[in-house]
């Protein structure tokens, strides 16, 4: 448990580990009666045949995932799914020396890690801004510090690092003259929206990840439809990463609340079954 509500687990899935790349995700079911949950791959170890997943308890299914004990199994794990980050197509020589800014909000720290690691190992300059409500919710501190040039923490309550939102720290970096070839924001939908607004006039290309709106993961259910640049796109098969300036975040935010009453009811029943 990284925090009281966030767990990290290494999952033995050799075939998935052998081909996973930064930006991709898996879909898991903790129990036969559980729903399909998309989780971005936090790390992969090809020699051990494992992928690392980080899950936050927000409802019934994530509660079941975090309740699994060492040695237990998921009902199923499917992946790797989605398109890898665009930079994996670049030759290492083109990555070397490029300057990347990553902005991670809360659990978004987990999917940022493999991307930053991949780029840092190939000679890119990587700065990372990580935000959380309070210092106790900042995760993967040592791991993130090892894969970047500069790591900046932001907390809503000022308990560590910059006192305020990640957008405030981003603006400080730009005002100080930092120059970047690419920005990547991963975290809550509302955070990515305001990072896009903060960077819009900077001229820095921005990529965001929309993995949180996926359901089926195969493009069949249509639950991850999102408007990007005026076109309907499917996050699971055409993403999960898109141009952050073209995403209709207001539409995405509205859709995230559609089934909130049902989610609350399901979590209440799950707690009763688990004796919580």
Query: Per-domain residue ranges for the chain?
Result: 6-81, 86-201
Model pTM greater than 0.85? yes
Question: Could you say which residues of the chain have pLDDT below 50?
Answer: none
Average pLDDT value over all residues in the chain: 90
What is the pLDDT, as a whole number, of residue 179?
Answer: 95
What is the pLDDT, as a whole number, of residue 51?
Answer: 96
Q: 86-201: what CATH class? A: alpha beta
Of 230, 184, 227, the C-alpha closest to 208 is 184
What is the pLDDT, as a whole number, of residue 222?
Answer: 75
- CATH number corresponding to 6-81: 2.40.30.10
Q: Two tokens at 23?
A: 């930006």
What is the pLDDT, as a whole number, of residue 259?
Answer: 64
What is the pLDDT, as a whole number, of residue 262?
Answer: 67
> Under 8 Å CB-to-CB from 243, ≥6 apart: which residues?
205, 206, 207, 208, 228, 229
What is the pLDDT, as a whole number, of residue 236?
Answer: 81
């Amino acid at each position: 448990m990284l925090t009281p509500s966030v767990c990290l687990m290494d999952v033995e899935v050799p075939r998935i580990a052998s081909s996973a790349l930064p930006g991709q995700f898996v879909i898991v079911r903790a129990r036969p009666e559980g729903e399909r949950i998309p989780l971005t791959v936090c790390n992969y170890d090809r020699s051990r045949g494992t992928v690392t997943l980080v899950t936050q308890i927000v409802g019934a299914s994530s509660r079941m995932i975090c309740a699994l004990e060492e040695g237990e199994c998921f009902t199923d794990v499917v992946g790797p799914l989605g398109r890898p980050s665009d930079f994996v197509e670049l030759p290492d020589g083109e990555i070397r020396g490029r300057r990347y800014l990553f902005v991670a909000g809360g659990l978004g720290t987990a999917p940022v890690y493999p991307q930053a690691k991949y780029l840092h190992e190939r000679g890119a300059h990587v700065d990372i801004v990580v935000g959380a409500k309070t210092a106790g919710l900042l995760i993967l501190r040592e791991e993130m510090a090892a894969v970047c040039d500069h790591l900046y923490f932001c907390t809503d309550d000022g308990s560590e690092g910059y006192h305020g939102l990640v957008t405030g720290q981003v603006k400080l970096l730009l005002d100080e003259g930092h120059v970047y070839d690419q920005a990547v924001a991963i975290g809550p939908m509302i955070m990515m929206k305001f990072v896009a607004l903060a960077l819009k006039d900077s001229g820095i290309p921005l990529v965001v990840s929309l993995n949180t709106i996926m359901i089926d993961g195969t493009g069949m259910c249509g639950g991850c439809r999102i408007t990007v640049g005026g076109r309907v796109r499917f996050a699971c098969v055409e993403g999960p990463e898109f141009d952050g300036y073209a995403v209709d975040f207001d539409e995405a935010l509205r859709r995230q609340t559609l089934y909130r009453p049902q989610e609350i009811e399901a979590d209440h029943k799950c707690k009763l079954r688990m004796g919580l």
